Structure 1
Amino acid sequence: MASTSKKAAKTTAGRQRAIQRGVDALDRKKKPSETKDRPVQAGTRKQPQNPMPAQHLRKPGNEHDLALSPRFLAPDYLGSGKLEGMTAVVTGGDSGIGRAVAVLFAREGADVAIVYLDEHEDAADTRRHVEQEGRQCLALAGDVKDPAFCKQAIEQTVKKFGRLDILVNNAAFQLHSERLEDLSDEHLQETLQTNIAGYFHMARAALPHLKRGAAIINSGSETGIFGSKALLDYSATKGAIHAFTKSLASNLLERGIRVNAVAPGPVWTPLNPADRAAEEVAKFGQDSDMGRPAQPEEISPAYVFLASPVCSSYVNGVVLPVMGGPRG
């Protein structure tokens, strides 16, 4: 019996080596891919490729200062009333992902309040685009680290629009630190209080106004899943956002309020040019599976999906990765 097993194992090993020889031969004949090192274009329109503009922005980062304007209009996206008659609050709504989300929410029929820090010109531009979609827009400047401001922003929204159906927590502070010892207390607290405490403040302020069928959507990140060695504090807050999302989803389920998150990969917004040196910004996103950063318009439909009860009434506590590939 033992000799028979050994003979079978030897036969299998021989067969595996034969298969290997065949694959090795094909590898030797393989020509270099014509798309090697070329960013992947998988959507309906061609997106900008690396290198990105070598540019550094002053905090908090203005979208109108970017040499290459982020694409947020999603011209191929046709609205179909998925959010008709609803009201949404989008923090960090002046630019980047927040602006793209505000525009698509409006295209789907929602009035939108955007909360932003002090990027007034960007906020006015977002408001103009929301209004061009035929909806109303309220622009509110303030700091989500302040619970009193968060409460005021929600109350102003409800006063103007008469209701609140969707909260998108998206405001963020990001600044790299190569060594933990170089991460100052001030830097750490700015990140923690903006990126995770601000989400708590806004959700708590919104809850008295959210009815059954409402949705909260949090902006997470691939860094909250995989980490980032030079973004220790930022990655930690994004991981906390993912845990907050799942916990709050369970907490609010009996009230009929769904809570989910989107975890984007690299996205071309003012956030990173306001973080890294210009020469590093030029390479932003090239390590993603698609070899380029996403444009905000490639991320925003995920928020529509999670906001719309028609699309996602049975989706709760999910961290939806939109990373251009599986990563890891």
Structure 2
Amino acid sequence: MVKAVVLGAAGGIGQPLALLLKANPLIDELGLFDIVNTPGVAADLSHISTPAKVEGYLPPDDGLKKALTGSDIIVIPAGVPRKPGMTRDDLFKINAGIVRDLATGIATTAPKAFILVISNPVNSTVPIVAEVLKQHGVFDPKRLFGVTTLDVVRASTFVSEIVGDLSLAPKVVVPVVGGHSGLTIVPLLSQSSHALPASFSKDQLQALTTRIQFGGDEVVKAKDGAGSATLSMAYAGAEFAVKVIRAIKGETGIVAPSYVHLSADKASGDALKKEIGTEVEYFSAPVLIGTEGVVEIKPLGTLTEFEKGLVAAAIPELEESISKGTLFITASKL
């Protein structure tokens, strides 16, 4: 039996994410929580002819606790979406408190669950969840993941467009490392499973890299104030969640990039720190996932000079974001 929970299930990401999870036969029970409309979303989904039982909860009457009870995997897309002109720092001010409160509920009700954080800015919200769990004495870095899958999905799609065959998109694999915002997103295009054309210039490589890094801005602008990347993020979140569920069920060899605390596997985490030349605590890298969560953090491999420059540029922003998330909890405690 697998119970999946979506926190923020009535939102722009939460609803399509819940739909995709309801459609997956690996899930037996689906718990939904949000501050409005969750019972209606649950009722709607419950009419779909797939096995998962769906329950929706609101804050009154211990709704969060009821949603979380018995959960195996918790996906958190809760928070406000990014609007035109809004930076991820602007998002932080609003979403940090939301994530903190949800993390407190997880710490007290479902401390052993696998936690997948989608709420932006991920570079900061994952450290917020970690610090809350630490305060409650239940932090297990092997079970906490920042979902960076959308960056991978975008890279795969954009490369298949350049190759000239969108039917390849599900097969194209491009490792994307670093973090999940702007310059911290580092696509390792030299390691793409499908090579870029030999004629691909340096300027074209830079343009493709920038498009992957700032793909979210492309969507925000196209929606003209009506939202952000909700549908593609829901797809990416479901893809990663299902990989974790497959690992929980005992499938071996599942590797996916994710933003994790590098103590999740100390030996490989320390090796990665040495590889990137920093003592940063969190980093997105290909992760081997097993029944207990993170098994191994894979090395980045051979990087081009261009990619080494991207990693170097990502580190300062990454360190600042991590510190901001950590201090949001630790400084407020003081």
Q: TM-score band (shorter)?
A: 0.3 to 0.5
- Larger proportion of helix: 2
Give the TM-score taking structure 1 as reference length: 0.44
Q: Report which structure shows greater RCO (CA 8 Å, sep ≥6).
A: 1
Give the TM-score taking structure 2 as reference length: 0.43
Larger radius of gyration: 1
